[in-house]
């Protein structure tokens, strides 16, 4: 066999160090578009969805004119919440702690019984909220390009597979005890299929599973030939940092993994199907079984990283090229700020 120069993985420190996690919050999650919900959750003015985006509580609300408005879920008075829970309906922007009220643009209109005038310009901190195919994304950094420009060639890759005729079926959420990159590492390689996903490997040619880059390291397309020879029509795509969807005949599965902290991550699946789709329950169960298998192995990896023996490994030049690209994106975002080289702060 010809000798190949091997590429090392990210060192363990990148998965465990609180300082690196803090850099990632500001240099990755604040500067990218992150999916936090779906438009069908916001049918009426006043409907909102709330989420934790890498430690930042945020919410998106449907406005009277049908547009979306997004804010940090924090009152400037004493950091109280504007909305509770993961979603619901709230006609006005009123802090749930002390009752300060804000207009639709987030400007203060009434500091209830405060006893003095609030400082001029007091307001909620706005975010951008934009949608693509009914997915609601938010971005904390105003200098990041708009969503459609950010998605780039990913849009054209998905164009021939429409999804607007699918309706929402179900949602599952798992709290995973692992750094978000452990799950991401697993997602962007198919090397583990024969050993981690035996049932899936009976349906597809696991050793022919490919993660194909298209010239932009932020996204890739996954393919695996079926063993029964049936032609598969669809697209299974990943987009940095933590978003994927799989469009298949009759339906679609949307997957995202949102970091809760340095070593906890929420894995969220949402399923959509055409009205005449076959074997819906079987498809969902198969997907959920695969997710359980991925979570199980990922949590073991996290424990081994925390044990202190492992420092770094090596990437397969046959199966893990996309993983190498992901690791380089992390290095590019983190390394300029490691050990105080520069301040990571990008949002107020």
How do residues 34-50 score in pLDDT, each as one tens digit? 999 999 999 999 999 99
Average pLDDT over residues 312-326: 96
What pTM was computed for the model?
0.93
User: Counting beta carbons within 10 angstroms of the beta carbon of residue 307, is it exposed (0 to 12), middle (13 to 18) or buried (19 or more)?
Assistant: exposed
- Nearest 5°: CA angle at 248, between 246 and 250? 130
Task: Report domain 7-12+150-338's class.
Answer: alpha beta
The whole-angstrom distance between residue 212's C-alpha and the CA centroid of its chain comes to 20
- Residue 101, strand partner residues: 94, 110
Confidence of residue 231 (pLDDT cuts 50, 70, 90): low
Q: Output the CA angle 175-181-183, nearest 5 degrees.
A: 50
Of 128, 48, 143, nearest in space to 88 by CA: 48
Domain residue limits, the chain? 7-12+150-338, 33-143
Q: Which residue blocks in the chain are alpha helix, DSSP H?
A: 13-16, 18-24, 147-151, 154-158, 180-187, 193-196, 198-203, 280-307, 321-334
pLDDT tens profile 157-198: 999 999 999 999 999 999 999 999 999 999 999 999 999 999
> What's the whole-number mean pLDDT along residues 216-222?
96
Q: In CATH terms, are 7-12+150-338 and 33-143 the same topology?
A: no
242 pLDDT more than 70: yes
Contacts by 98-103, CB closer than 8 A, 24 or more apart: 100/75
Supply the mean pLDDT for the chain: 94
Q: 135-165: per-residue pLDDT in tens?
A: 999 999 999 999 999 999 999 999 999 999 9
Please answer whether residues 93 and 104 qualify as being in contact, where contact means their C-beta atoms are separated by less than 8 angstroms: yes
**Residue 233 scores a pLDDT above 90:** no
Is the domain spanning 33-143 CATH 3.40.50.1820? The answer is no
Q: Which residue has the tokens 């424990």?
A: 303
């Amino acid at each position: 066999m010809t000798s190949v120069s091997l590429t090392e993985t990210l060192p363990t420190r990148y998965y465990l160090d609180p300082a690196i996690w803090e850099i990632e919050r500001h240099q990755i999650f604040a500067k990218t578009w992150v999916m936090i919900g779906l438009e069908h959750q916001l049918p009426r003015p006043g409907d909102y969805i709330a989420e934790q985006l890498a430690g930042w509580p945020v919410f998106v609300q449907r406005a009277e004119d049908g547009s979306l408005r997004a804010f940090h879920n924090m009152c400037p008075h004493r950091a109280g919440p504007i909305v509770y829970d993961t979603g619901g309906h709230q006609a006005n922007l009123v802090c749930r702690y002390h009752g300060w009220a804000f207009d639709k643009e987030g400007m203060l209109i009434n500091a209830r019984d405060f006893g003095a005038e609030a400082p001029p310009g007091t307001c909620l901190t706005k975010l951008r909220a934009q949608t693509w195919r009914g997915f609601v994304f938010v971005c904390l950094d105003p200098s990041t390009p708009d969503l459609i420009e950010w998605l780039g060639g990913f849009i054209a890759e998905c164009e021939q597979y429409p999804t607007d005729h699918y309706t929402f079926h179900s949602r599952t959420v798992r709290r995973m005890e692992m750094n978000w990159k452990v799950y991401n590492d697993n997602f962007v390689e198919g090397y583990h299929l024969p050993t981690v996903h035996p049932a899936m490997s009976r349906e597809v040619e696991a050793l022919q599973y490919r993660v194909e880059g298209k010239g932009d390291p932020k996204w890739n397309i996954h393919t695996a030939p079926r063993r029964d020879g049936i032609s598969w029509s669809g697209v299974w795509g990943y987009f940095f940092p933590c978003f994927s969807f799989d469009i298949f005949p009759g339906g679609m599965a949307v997957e995202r993994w949102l970091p809760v902290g340095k070593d906890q991550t929420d894995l969220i699946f949402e399923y959509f199907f055409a009205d005449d789709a076959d074997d819906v329950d079987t498809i969902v169960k198969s997907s959920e079984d695969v997710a359980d298998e991925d979570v199980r192995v990922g949590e073991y990896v996290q424990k081994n990283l925390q044990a202190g023996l492992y420092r770094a490994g090596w990437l397969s030049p046959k199966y893990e090229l996309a993983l190498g690209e992901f690791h380089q994106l992390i290095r590019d975002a983190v390394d300029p700020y490691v050990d105080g080289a520069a301040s990571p702060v990008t949002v107020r």
